[in-house]
């Protein structure tokens, strides 16, 4: 079965070239090519694509906005962003909007086809330079990675409140004063918190709280 691809690209030369490449290659079928995203809904409904090749720089609705709309309305459609620039701000916006991958306009045709197949199969192609930027965030320590998923530890409101005070660095006595309860009560709550978080020390609890946005 061919992969059905729709193109959103304002430059007619590029648009036609892409369409020609797709239709001239076995396994790919360009079912629509559009100069802008102003009628994105009809465009999608008519072309019924598996994968959308989206130019990020378009007149009218930007590729980012169209991406967001398509992802909300047709979540099964994979979107591959293409742009001439290596602008990491735009890239992040597009990825946040729901794009599955990203490719630069001067990548050779075979990379386009590979990338389309890859998103179609659930992958996430990113060009080397973009990947490098993404990794740059990690190695530059400008980010804190947050473990995804299970952040619901069923802490009660009071427990969250005390955990927050712990994160702020207070000792039991201070926490007791601030929460208007006794020292022993603080300790009882803390013990419960530890059990729920599956930790055995204050610093582990603080770490989990910070990283997972508890408290």
Partner DNA sequence: TCATAAATCACCCAATGGGGTATGTTGCTT
Partner DNA sequence: AAGCAACATACCCCATTGGGTGATTTATGA
Residue with the two structure tokens 């967001």: 68
Q: Minimum distance between the CB of residue 89 and DNA, rounded to whole angstroms?
A: 25
Strand order, beta sheet including 78-83: 28-34, 3-8, 51-55, 78-83, 101-104
Q: Minimum distance between the CB of residue 145 and a copy of itself, rounded to whole angstroms?
A: 6
Residue 143: contacted member of a copy of itself, DNA, none (CB under 5 to 8 Å, by partner type): a copy of itself
Q: Minimum distance between the CB of residue 65 and a copy of itself, rounded to whole angstroms?
A: 16
Alpha-carbon distance 11 to 57, whole Å?
Answer: 10
85 binds a copy of itself (CB under 8 A): no
Q: Minimum distance between the CB of residue 52 and DNA, rounded to whole angstroms?
A: 23
For DNA, the closer CB: 111 or 158:
158
108 binds a copy of itself (CB under 8 A): no
109 binds a copy of itself (CB under 8 A): no
Residue 191: contacted member of a copy of itself, DNA, none (CB under 5 to 8 Å, by partner type): DNA
From 34-42, 55-63, 129-137, 176-184, span contacting a copy of itself (CB under 8 A): 129-137
158 class by beta-carbon count within 10 Å (0-12 exposed, 13-18 middle, 19+ buried): middle
The strand pairing partners of 104, in sequence order, are: 83
End-to-end CA distance of the chain: 50
210 binds a copy of itself (CB under 8 A): yes
Q: How far is CA 88 from the centre of its chain?
A: 14
103 class by beta-carbon count within 10 Å (0-12 exposed, 13-18 middle, 19+ buried): buried
Cβ atoms of residues 29 and 113 within 8 Å? no
Q: Which residues contact a copy of itself (rule: CB under 8 A)?
A: 71, 92, 95-96, 98, 100-101, 118, 122-126, 128-129, 131-132, 134-148, 166-167, 169, 171, 199, 201-207, 210-211, 213
């Amino acid at each position: 079965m061919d992969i059905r691809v729709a193109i959103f690209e304002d430059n007619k030369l590029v648009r036609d070239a892409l369409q020609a490449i797709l239709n001239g290659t076995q396994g790919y079928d360009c079912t629509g090519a559009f100069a802008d995203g102003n009628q994105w809904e009809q465009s999608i409904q008519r072309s019924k694509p598996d994968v959308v090749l989206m130019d990020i720089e378009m007149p009218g609705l930007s590729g980012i906005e169209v991406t967001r709309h398509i992802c909300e309305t047709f979540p099964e459609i994979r979107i591959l962003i293409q742009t001439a620039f290596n602008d990491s701000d735009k890239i992040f916006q597009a990825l946040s909007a729901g794009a599955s991958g990203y490719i630069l306009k001067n990548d050779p045709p075979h990379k386009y086809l590979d990338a389309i197949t890859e998103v179609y199969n659930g992958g996430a192609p990113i060009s080397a330079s973009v990947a490098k930027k993404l990794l740059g965030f990690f190695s530059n320590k400008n980010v804190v990675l947050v473990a995804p998923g299970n952040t619901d530890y069923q802490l009660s409101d009071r427990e969250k409140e005390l955990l927050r005070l712990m994160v702020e660095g207070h000792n039991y006595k201070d926490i007791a004063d601030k929460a208007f309860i006794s020292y022993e009560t603080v300790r009882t709550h803390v013990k419960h918190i530890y059990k729920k978080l599956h930790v055995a020390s204050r610093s582990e609890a603080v770490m989990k709280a910070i990283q997972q946005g508890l408290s």
